[in-house]
Amino acid sequence: MGEPAGSRRATPWYRRTLRVLGGVTVAVVLLGVLAVLTSPVVDAVDREWVQCEVVAASPQPAGTRYRMVRVQLETTDCGDLTYRWQVTEDNVEEKAAGFPPGTYEFELGAASRVALRIPQINVNVREYRQLE
């Protein structure tokens, strides 16, 4: 005896739950990949100046974890920032010395401003000006 046309066999609840959870997981992963791929585009739009209090700047040479030379900026209100624009092995010390403690404004795009609110994310900065 077959089942009537149009009826579905009952699927155990755990299979349905796994199917739904799998779909949710795939959607979250795809959204994450989409966010990573589109963040440079979003960051180029809607740029604003954000004020931060820099307390220390340290030169960071290229290593195994970070392949690019950079200046690490420690701030009291914006978390850690990274400055890499035109920083080389030859001038990293000079660039770090160019960030004395004080109040600065950094030009950040929309994605970077959102990233400032996430403690574990290190935001890259390019344009800045020191306030007096």
Model pLDDT for residues 48-88, shown as the tens digit of each residue: 999 999 999 999 888 766 678 999 999 999 989 999 888 99
The pLDDT assigned to 8 comes to 58
pTM value surpassing 0.75: no
Q: Quickly name the fold that domain 48-130 has.
A: OB fold (Dihydrolipoamide Acetyltransferase, E2P) (2.40.50)
The pLDDT assigned to 129 comes to 93
Those residues whose C-beta lies under 8 Å from the C-beta of residue 93, and which sit 6 or more positions away, are 59
Contact (CB, 8 A) for 115 and 121: yes
Strand 80-83 relative to strand 70-75, pairing: antiparallel
Highest-confidence range of 9-13, 61-65, 120-124, by mean pLDDT? 120-124
Distance CA 106, CA 126 (A): 8
